Chain A
Amino acid sequence: MEPKLEQTFVQQIKDNQNLIHKVCRIYTSCLDDHNDLFQEITIQLWKAYPQFRGDSKFTTWAYRVALNTAITLFRKKKRDINTIEINNDIHNIDFAEYNYEEEEQLKIMYKAIHQLGDIEKALVFMYLEDKDYKEISETLGISEVNARVKMNRVKTKLKQIINP
């Protein structure tokens, strides 16, 4: 493929890498998996890039590919039990704004999310990203009404995991 296209693509990935990191944050729980998934999403985005026409925003387009990769295409490698927990590595907060109680609660929340199924994780991700139900339903390929119903169920499920 053209070097210019490659250059534009790399720049776009670099500028929007937080989006990919966030998907990895939801779907993986150790640094090695995080990096593997990041790489696979980048490869998948690059594969689909020639079809990206630019009539939609790069991020909107990338969300879908990233989620599809995390849910369907990515194959997690088998790893030894000794893996580095990612939670604290990338969850650095400035000392001044550190709130112990909130921090603990967030940790519990992330742990609970990791216990959800892949589709449920996608719903939580899109909720956190403030996506509307139209986009959620189009991304997953389900109706808006059912997306709404499922979202409420996932929220209830999270609640149950946190306060059994």
Chain B
Amino acid sequence: MEGLDLLKKDWQKERNFPKVTESEIYSMLHKKSSSIVKWILIISVLEIAFWIGLNILLSDEKQKEMVNLYHLEKFMQISTIVHWTVLAVFVFLFYRNFKNISNTSSTKSLMSSILNVRKIVQYYVWYNVVVTFLIFIIVWVSMLLYDENINQVLQKANDSGTEIGIWFGVGLSMLVLALLMCGILWLFYRIIYGILLRRLYKNYKELEKIEL
């Protein structure tokens, strides 16, 4: 191919690139990197911090009262232990995977190690979504079982024959809540990681396609 041969000949000539001086290189070393790995680290730490913060914020006096009222003490004890253990495991996995990112590995393994870190954080977020939803259901059920006010309403509904309507309402509102939560998260990921990782996904897919 004539064009490529010509290009190769031209390429291997010493060309006049702008010369970067020693002092310029020194100053570069002290500038901040703007690599996507740094952004992924920042966003991931924020995500994990968000869920920890939410847990702490929600465990106030009012919640303790509610736990006592609905007989959820045992459940809360166990779930707290499970929750913090899971968090510790996730943080450990995140740290280990993050450490595995090396800019001296092959292009393909660099990409897959970055995507692995993302996967860990994504699993953590989905874990939290599922747990939050489960807690909602458990609190709802306990409320229906133990809350006197609600029991009165239910009793009245039972007398007038509209109980089914109430159950239907409860189910529907839970479904809406779950969909809303998933929707917000989906949007969040589309925006944040769409911008950050679109190119990486594309290139990773292309490398995979070469190996097919």
Contact = CB atoms under 8 A, between A and B. Distances in A.
Interface of A: 6, 9-11, 13-14, 17-18, 21-22, 25, 36, 38-40, 42-44, 46-48, 51, 61, 64-65, 67-69, 71-75, 77, 89-92, 102, 105-106, 108-110, 117-119, 122, 127-130, 138-143, 146-147, 149-150, 155, 158-159, 162
B106 A138 contact: yes
B110 interface: yes
Using C-beta atoms within 8 Å of the partner chain, give the interface range for chain B: 35 or more
B3 A142 contact: no
Interface of B: 1, 3-4, 6-8, 10-12, 14-22, 25-26, 28-29, 31, 33-37, 39, 102-111, 114, 196, 199-200, 202-203, 206-207, 210-211
Contacts of B211: 142-143, 146
Contacts of B108: 140-142
B210 A40 contact: no
Contact of A21 (B3, B17, B202): B17
Contacts of A39: 28, 31
B107 A139 contact: yes
B17 A18 contact: yes
B201 to A, nearest CB: 11
Contacts of A129: 11
A109 B6 contact: yes
Given A44-B103, A46-B29, A119 B8 contact: no
A128 B11 contact: yes
A40 B33 contact: yes
- Looking at A39, A105, A158, which has the most chain B CB atoms within 10 Å of its CB? A39
Contact of B3 (A11, A17, A109, A143): A109
B107 A47 contact: no
Contacts of B200: 72
Given A48-B102, A106-B6, A127-B8, A10 B26 contact: yes
Given A39-B31, A146-B210, A158-B3, A75 B17 contact: no
Given A75-B35, A141-B109, A117 B203 contact: yes
A71 B35 contact: no
Contacts of B22: 10-11, 14
Contacts of B12: 128, 130
A17 B14 CA distance: 12
A17 B19 contact: yes
Pick the 4 closest A-B CB pairs, nearest first. Answer: A141-B108, A141-B106, A21-B17, A73-B35
A40 B34 contact: yes
B4 A155 contact: yes
Contacts of B114: 72
B20 A14 contact: yes
